[in-house]
Structure 1
């Protein structure tokens, strides 16, 4: 049974704040009890803070950071901002109906400065047409009701709306050619989706690359779709790994470095981005737009 006043289900942001404070403490060599005494906090209270089950006031957070010898002011300020956040946003209206992981994903997206997404079997959610996302959801959940499909589509469309509104957010997707060749859906749905990729690429903050079957190299270990959500402070980047049972958020520094490096290599192996603005056509052109045009011709 939870202690009175403790959060029964901390959000991803709350858990991440606690994990970062714990990481700083452990790197400094302090025990929870030793660190807590410097900020007037008991060991049990420190445990609740580090698991995201209770908040920490700014003054005490800064005392702990100073105790840990953390001189990274941008990092400390970012942790303070995380602690002050109410966690409310456009997704709040969906709390009664959407799962906690979906709400966590929306909040992580909203607080990121860049998204770097790799997909090999489906088009990334933020780039999907409504017809594609509905067909995809129904294919994965054939017993779903019309109301469930409507809710799923409405929530994803709202996430897309935030991407269109926030032109300061850099969105970069590397999509394997296989995702555009799979015959999961009707010809019209796939044609509309492929054409949509060209249209969304017109946005100055959106980069779309295709990774062809003939790519020179490929990160075999990273065949699972993932997204790197970049924060204003690199240490607070987050990796989201898609999985049919449970899609985890990764925050360990070694994992962040591994996935960031992997995305860079995938991007280098992919064709040059779709760019309709500076298009100069020739039969020898090999870029993402040329592959899209070929796919549309053969569809």
Structure 2
């Protein structure tokens, strides 16, 4: 069973349905979703990077590729799927200063991950703390282009980007201390939370954690500024919103 659970051993659909029956699972939607996962080979474009990347990077890429929606909260960095090439290269060079090949591979892998956003097959909602756009991890000109890229990305109909200002009315008890992403599955029970950590990121899929992080994201979205308006939609300049904060940050950079 452990080999099946970790994906090292396949399980025929009839056996999976029999096990579900034995365990008392009555949700046909969940069982069908599990069967669909069982039929998948798990071999996508990310398989070509096995020699150079950690297994967790493959898991994240696979989850992103199959998600129906992607919700992300970041407070120190721009979310990976929204990063420009120059921005991500600066970050990787800072962590791998003497390994240009490693940096090139990391940049290429992240750019491949971004294709799922360009395809428009899933909804993407990001809440980004104002601090992430003020951090001096990258040169000012790189950050300026990165911020301009956020405005352009927000024009995509399936992308929603909100900024969380320093003055937001946050509830510390309801706000996770680490950045996280919620990969929403078409079958809710198969959704996954990815919690980022510099040493070892964590994937959570039990009902309690899903409820906790869903509530946290709803809270962050509620107290964040209204989304960066798509072109032609920003009619009022008297109301403080994400676009106004973007314009201010571009001015002070």
Q: Same fold (TM over 0.5)?
A: yes
- The list of structure 1 runs, each at least 4 consecutive aligned residues, that deviate by more than 6 angstroms after superposition, is none
Change (3 A) 1:128 1:51: closer
Q: CA deviation at 1:93?
A: 2.2
Counterpart of 2:244 in structure 1 is 290
Q: CA deviation at 1:95?
A: 2.5
Structure with more relative contact order (C-alpha pairs < 8 Å, separation 6 or more): 2
Counterpart of 1:64 in structure 2 is 19
Counterpart of 1:272 in structure 2 is 226
Alpha-carbon distance in 1 for matches of 2:91, 2:30: 39
Q: 1:118 aligns with which of 51, 61, 73?
A: 73
Work out whether 1:107 is the aligned partner of 2:66. Answer: no
Spell out the pairing of 1:31-110 with structure 2 (5 A cutoff): 46-110=1-65
Q: 1:139 aligns with which of 86, 89, 94?
A: 94
Counterpart of 1:201 in structure 2 is 154
Counterpart of 2:208 in structure 1 is 254
Cα RMSD of the aligned pairs, angstroms, is: 1.4
User: What is the DSSP-based 3-state SS (H/G/I as helix, E as strand, rest coil) of the residue aligned with 1:142?
Assistant: coil
Alpha-carbon distance in 2 for matches of 1:211, 1:183: 18
Change (3 A) 1:157 1:53: closer
Alpha-carbon distance in 2 for matches of 1:48, 1:182: 43
Does the CA contact (< 8 Å) of 2:46 and 2:61 recur in 1? yes
Spell out the pairing of 1:88-237 with structure 2 (5 A cutoff): 88-143=43-98, 145-165=99-119, 167-219=120-172, 221-237=175-191
Change (3 A) 1:204 1:188: same
Looking at CA atoms only, which structure, 1 or 2, has the larger radius of gyration? 1
Counterpart of 1:241 in structure 2 is 195
Counterpart of 1:27 in structure 2 is none
Change (3 A) 1:56 1:188: same
TM-score in terms of structure 2 length: 0.95
Q: CA deviation at 1:173?
A: 0.4
Alpha-carbon distance in 2 for matches of 1:203, 1:219: 32
TM-score in terms of structure 1 length: 0.81
Change (3 A) 1:297 1:47: closer
Alpha-carbon distance in 1 for matches of 2:96, 2:103: 9
Structure 1: gaps of 5 or more residues: 1-45
Structure 2: gaps of 5 or more residues: none
